A and B are shown apart, each in its own frame.
Chain A
Amino acid sequence: MLGGGFAHVLSGGTVLHAFWAVLVGIVIGALPGLTATMGVALLTTLTFSMGPNVAMLVLVCVYVGAIYGGSRSAILLNIPGTPASAASTLDGYPLARQGLAGRAMGISTLGSWIGTLFGTLILALFAPSFGEFALRFGSYEMFWVAMFGIVIAGSLSGGDPLKGYIAGFIGLLIATVGQEPNHAYPRFAFGSTDLAGGFGLLPVLVGVFGVAEVISAMRGPAVQAVSSAIDSVIPRLSDVARYWRTILRSGSIGTFIGAMPGLGEDIAAWTSYAAAKRASAERDKFGKGSVEGLMAAETGESACVPGAIIPVLTLAVPGSAPAAVLMAAMMIHGLNPGPMLAITAPEFIYQIVAMLVIADMVKLFYGLVLVRPLLWVLLIPRARLIPIVFVLCTVGAFAITSRLFDIWVMLGAGLLGFVLRSLAFPMAPLVLGIVLGDLLDKNLLRGLVLSGGDISPFFTRPISLVLCGLTVLAVLWSIPGLMDRLRGRPPMRA
């Protein structure tokens, strides 16, 4: 089936799309203020007239490219191009300041390439069997999957679980606007036919990630590249031989965190970096230009990309924000991710594997040849770039249904996202709430209809019980000091 997946993706010149899409992704990721989520959302607009196969290849390539591209500005500007690359600044920028910007970019390319390959291998090995297991999930279990996603994203994604939960429930509320699934009653429509149709997923996501980031990008002074002189970017195989344990560990951590609903690449990078520092014999070099530290962060964040696609394909639950937009794009193109994929289109999982491998190879190619042009791109004044991005956001929001209402939704979501960001509310749970709201709503009501109003199946079916227990544990874990008290230790002071 894997061979069939490659043959399908490589047929008819489709693969050529990978070259421009990865390039667009790298440029978007490299530019501070533009993120992978925004890139995937904007490019979704361009894929409307494409077939599903080409469209998915383009979007996977943009996703893979953007996560990698963020390291360019992290190394050269000390500003992460995407939040996922924040951990890369710790050692990437010090290396660049030592005159080793090329070496740092080589390590970043190598780590990112291996990371995505590692994660893709895990996806190919486990997603099909997990997809078959997910067929046992009914409405009760899917309700808990959605709830667990909100809770785990709220607990871990922003450092303040309380604000994470609030963001998640705001997202869930946004998703309730429009006709509900059982009686087609228009909730919160106030007589408006536009509101009765609900908020489109893409306009909201473009608003939260595009418009809010565009406004935020005008914050602070303009940045300067550390140097225009770049040494050799050719990666050294000796680095792989020397740090193979770090690579394996970071790849595993990155993929696992990717597969957890709503966590994403930044947490994968930070966790991989922290784990590498703890286990390293040269931990005193971390933060001062450590090759191992940079390798760990890059491998972790890039392994997270395929990891985040695993729950999309098997449960219809995104593992990260870009994966959420990717999932929305799959739905737009008539591909229905989730448990039924194992029955309706089992070959699609292997096509995604092939797309990830192709994207990874093209990324490696650009990583080796595309150094100086990217330096020029990084120096484009933001006052000239940002309005163009805003125009693309507007087009992206409008294009799906050709309604001006969607532009207003984008604008409203953007301003809401900007205000929430300014108040330090994390965006990941908000997005997950918006994406999972429909899943939660449908399955809760469907479950209640099936049981005749009895809520006990939500707690007594074996898989439901496990998922319910995990959700409760995640909430308890996030209460400051509670776990210490349960373990009999005095709570740590904040």
Chain B
Amino acid sequence: MSSSGGGQAGASPRADLLAAILLFTFGVAVVALALRMPTFAEQSGTGLTAPGIVPGFHGVVLALLAMMLGVRALRRGAARAGRAPSMAADAGALLLAAGLGTLYAAGLVGRLPFWLATALFVFAFTAAFEWGNGPRGRLRRLIEAAAIALGTGIVVTLVFEKLFLVRLP
């Protein structure tokens, strides 16, 4: 699907097996929760319109598909002894990006004024990822990061609140 960001390289059989176990557990948990939902059979006259029918069906299919994924992963050698898959070289960068994003969206937004939360996040993100460019010109880069951060916080707040009349957290 366009713009969907597909096209990743295939995952290892061991990663597929792990995903299959998690998805199977999830599917079974969904079915268990769906079975606990009321049926409202006295209102509808038939249990086929019970709220749990649709999620229960999805849960069953998901568990079955997860089983197929697990079997396929095992056939492809997921259980064979071997080196555990190594962390990707850029795992640190990905974790840092995800961590800073989580800190901003779940920690700062709503607790600090929006412009300040945004400025702090943009500065931290830019400074962290440009730190590795070396000590030469670091001070200049930090000053630029601070200017961009402050500018983003103020401009985004003004544009959304004043121009597009959108409420901000």
Chain A positions within 8 Å of B, measured between CB atoms, are: 35-38, 45-46, 48-49, 66-67, 82-84, 86, 153, 157-158, 160, 162-163, 165-166, 169-170, 172-173, 176, 180, 182-183, 185, 187-188, 209, 211-216, 218-220, 262-269, 301, 304, 308, 320-322, 381-384, 386-388, 390-392, 394-395, 398-399, 402, 404, 407-408, 410-411, 414-415, 418, 421-428, 431-432, 440-441, 444-445, 448-449, 452-453, 455
Contacts and interface: CB of A to CB of B under 8 A. Distances in A.
The 7 closest A-B pairs by CB, nearest first: A265-B2, A428-B1, A453-B46, A264-B1, A264-B2, A383-B129, A387-B125
Interface string B30-46: 10010001101001111
Chain B binding surface, main DSSP class: helix
Contact of A267 (B1, B10, B65, B152): B1
A158 B165 CA distance: 39
Contacts of A269: 2
A440 B5 contact: no
B49 A424 contact: no
A308 B102 CA distance: 33
B166 A410 contact: no
21 contacts: A49-B164, A83-B3, A86-B7, A158-B6, A183-B43, A183-B51, A265-B1, A322-B2, A383-B129, A384-B148, A386-B125, A387-B122, A390-B104, A394-B104, A407-B106, A407-B109, A418-B98, A425-B19, A431-B1, A432-B1, A452-B46
A183 B102 CA distance: 36
Contacts of B49: 182-183, 445, 448-449, 453
Contacts of B97: 214-215, 218, 386
Contacts of B58: 169, 172-173, 176
Contacts of A432: 1
Nearest to A305: B2
Contacts of A452: 45-46
Contacts of B52: 187
A391 B51 contact: no
Given A49-B166, A185-B40, A452-B45, A391 B121 contact: yes
B160 to A, nearest CB: 6
Contacts of B2: 36-37, 67, 82-84, 264-269, 301, 304, 308, 320-322
Nearest to A82: B3
A427 to B, nearest CB: 4
A45 B167 CA distance: 10
A104 B16 CA distance: 40
B94 A219 contact: yes
Contacts of A38: 3
Given A395-B156, A407-B105, A162 B65 contact: yes
B79 interface: no
B54 A209 contact: no
Contacts of A35: 3-5
Q: How large is the interface on B (under 10, 10 to 19, 20 to 34, 35 or more residues)?
A: 35 or more
Contacts of A308: 2
A388 B101 contact: no
Interface string B86-106: 001010011011101110111
Interface string B133-169: 0000000000001001000100010001000111111
A166 B101 contact: no
Interface string B1-31: 1111111111100011001000100000010
A475 B15 CA distance: 25
Contact of B46 (A158, A322, A448): A448
A308 B3 CA distance: 13
Given A162-B68, A166-B62, A388-B152, A187 B4 contact: no
Nearest to B160: A395
A173 B72 CA distance: 23
Contacts of B59: 173
Contacts of A216: 5, 94
Interface string B43-86: 11111110111110011011001101100100000000000000
B147 to A, nearest CB: 11
A166 B66 contact: yes
Given A209-B4, A321-B1, A423-B8, 9 more contacts: A37-B3, A86-B7, A182-B49, A183-B40, A214-B101, A384-B145, A394-B109, A410-B105, A428-B6
